[in-house]
Amino acid sequence: MTMLQVSAGGRLSFHLCKSHVCSQLIVPESKKNEMEPMRAQTIQCYQQTKQREHMKILQRQHIIEERKEMLENQNLEREESIRRAQEEQLKKQKEEEQLRLEREASRREKARQEEQLKQIHTKQIKDRLIQISQTSYGQKMMEKFDEETLIGYSGSPSSSSYMVVETSSR
C-alpha cells in the first residue's frame, strides 16, 4: 500500500504503508477468524440495542414534549387566574369607590337638609321675636337681651319653643 504525502517543503513523496503489516503482527489471521463469531454477535447485539435505545430516546423526547406542553398549560392557567383575580380586585375597588361616593353624596345631602332646617328654624325664631317685640311686655324683655343672644340660646327647634314660651310667660 502506498500513500501520497506532501512534505513541509511542498514536495510529494510516496511511502509504503506498513499499517497492514503491523495489524497482521498484532492480530494474526487465525485470531481474526476466531473473533469473527464474537464480532458478528457484538454487531447483532448492537443492532438490537440500537433500536431499543433509539426508541427510549424517542420516548424521552415525547415525555419531555408532553411535560413542556403541560408546563405551558399550567403557566397559561396561572396567568389567566392572576388576570381574573386582578379584574376581580379592580371590580371590587370600583364598587367600593362607588359606595364611598354614594355615602359622601348622602352625607352632603343630609348636611344640606340640616342647614336648610337650621335656616328655617332661625327665621322662625326671628319671626317670633318680632311678634314678641311688638307687645309692650316683649319690648321690655327685648331691651334686656340683644337679638343675637336670644337666637344663640335656641340651638334646636325644641329649645326655641322653650325660650319663646319662657320669655312670653314672664
Band (pLDDT 50/70/90 cuts) for residue 56 is: very high
Q: Could you tell me if residue 31 is inside a domain?
A: no
Phi, psi of 3 (to 5 degrees): -140, 140
Band (pLDDT 50/70/90 cuts) for residue 65 is: very high
pLDDT value at residue 124: 92
Helix segments in the chain, DSSP class H:
19-26, 29-133, 136-144, 147-153, 157-169
Q: Could you tell me if residue 148 is inside a domain?
A: yes
The cell numbers describing 85, all together, are 383575580
Q: Could you tell me if residue 73 is inside a domain?
A: yes
Q: Could you tell me if residue 6 is inside a domain?
A: no
Query: What pTM was estimated for this model as a whole?
Result: 0.43
pLDDT tens-digit series, residues 86-97: 999 999 999 999
In one-letter notation, the amino acid at residue 11 is R
Give the chain's end-to-end CA distance (angstroms, integer): 151
Q: Could you tell me if residue 125 is inside a domain?
A: yes
Q: Could you tell me if residue 102 is inside a domain?
A: yes
pLDDT value at residue 27: 62
Query: How many domains does one find in the chain?
Result: 1
Q: How many other CB atoms are found less than 10 A from the CB of residue 77?
A: 10
- Alpha-carbon torsion 154, 158, 161, 162, what sign? negative
Nearest Cα neighbor of 163 from 124, 136, 119 is 124
Q: Could you tell me if residue 18 is inside a domain?
A: no
pLDDT tens-digit series, residues 100-133: 999 999 999 999 999 999 999 999 988 988 888 8
CB 132, CB 142: distance < 8 Å:
yes
**Residues 142-151 as b or e (16 or more Cβ within 10 Å = b):** beeeeeeebb
Domain housing 61? 49-169
Q: Could you tell me if residue 9 is inside a domain?
A: no
Q: What is the mean pLDDT of the chain?
A: 79
- Residue 4, classed as helix, strand or coil, is strand
Distance CA 45, CA 39 (A): 10
